[in-house]
Structure 1
Amino acid sequence: MSRRPTRPRPTAAPTSCPCGLPASYADCCGRLHRGLAQAGTAEQLMRSRFSAFVVEDAAYLLRSWHPRTRPPAVDFDPGLRWQRLEILGSTEGGPFHQAGEVEFVAHYQEQGHAGAMREKSRFVRHEGAWVYLDGVVETD
């Protein structure tokens, strides 16, 4: 009897959207992840990227990252689960802007312990689409 290595199971898509908006995942961030729509604002892109971390959609994260700052790959920590997103504010980043910032707190569980990460992310338009440029993680 041969023993094959077990493969990680893909994360199941949630029914409600992890981004915090009152919509189903399929109708909200799932549409962006599947390429059926593009983010209209920097905040919408931020929300969709948070959801991509929740469902471990590395392809979307890389696609929505500016080519100048994009890493070669996205690694997901198996002991970390993103729980919820709290948008603190945004500057510009609207439908008629070329750049914007979104400040947020991303809450997570790591090996049974609650935590939070606060970041100010910068977004720009690249070839007409909003992309993540970079961010500054704020520490206490």
Structure 2
Amino acid sequence: MDPDARCPCGSGLSYGECCGPFHSGAASAPTAERLMRSRFSAFAVGDPAYLLRSWHPDARPASIEIDPDTRWLWLEIVRTERGSERDSDGVVEFRAKYRVDAPEGRSSGVQHEVSTFARVAGEWVYVDGEA
């Protein structure tokens, strides 16, 4: 993704200032919310390697495929609990709007999830989520 383009996570920053450094490994998300935003952006830009790297090692699947027919449109953070730079765990509730442009037709929806996060070796990771 162009580093000067607006970041898909909705922060208002450019991709190069926001989620891009997390995706490239140049920086780590400082909070659970920033990790959630960067994971949404990874879906939006098609970066399954980042999704796997940012998943808790005890819960991480062996692989992940991103559906090329699904386009992630916007992210709304509903609430956060803990997850600051000083915490060891956190919760982020979010809504993510998507559109599917499949050969059988177009559809859209919203994924509403309450996700849990933890720090492993000082890095925020996604643990699991409840839709």
Same fold, TM exceeding 0.5?
A: yes
Secondary structure of the equivalent of 1:124? Answer: strand
- Tell me the amino acid that sits aligned with residue 121 of structure 1: S
- Deviation (angstroms), 1:128: 0.7
Corresponding residue of 1:125: 119
Corresponding residue of 1:34: 24
Aligned mate of 1:109, from 99, 110, 116: 99
- Tell me the amino acid that sits aligned with residue 27 of structure 2: A
| CA offset digits 1:46-96 (Å, max 9, x no partner) | 000000000111111110000100011111112211111000000000011
| CA offset digits 1:9-54 (Å, max 9, x no partner) | xxx4471000100111111100110111111100000000000000
CA distance in structure 2 between the aligned counterparts of 1:106 and 1:41, rounded to whole angstroms: 19
Identity of aligned residues (%): 51
Secondary structure of the equivalent of 1:52? Answer: helix
Q: What is the root-mean-square deviation in Å for CA atoms of aligned residues?
A: 1.1
- How many residues in Structure 1 have an aligned counterpart in Structure 2? 126
Aligned mate of 2:15, from 18, 25, 28: 25
Q: How does 1:1-140 map to 2 (within 5 A)?
A: 12-13=1-2, 15-111=5-101, 112-137=106-131
Q: Which runs of 5+ in 1 are unaligned?
A: 1-11
TM-score, normalization by structure 2: 0.92
CA distance in structure 2 between the aligned counterparts of 1:116 and 1:99, rounded to whole angstroms: 25
TM-score, normalization by structure 1: 0.87
Q: Which runs of 5+ in 2 are unaligned?
A: none
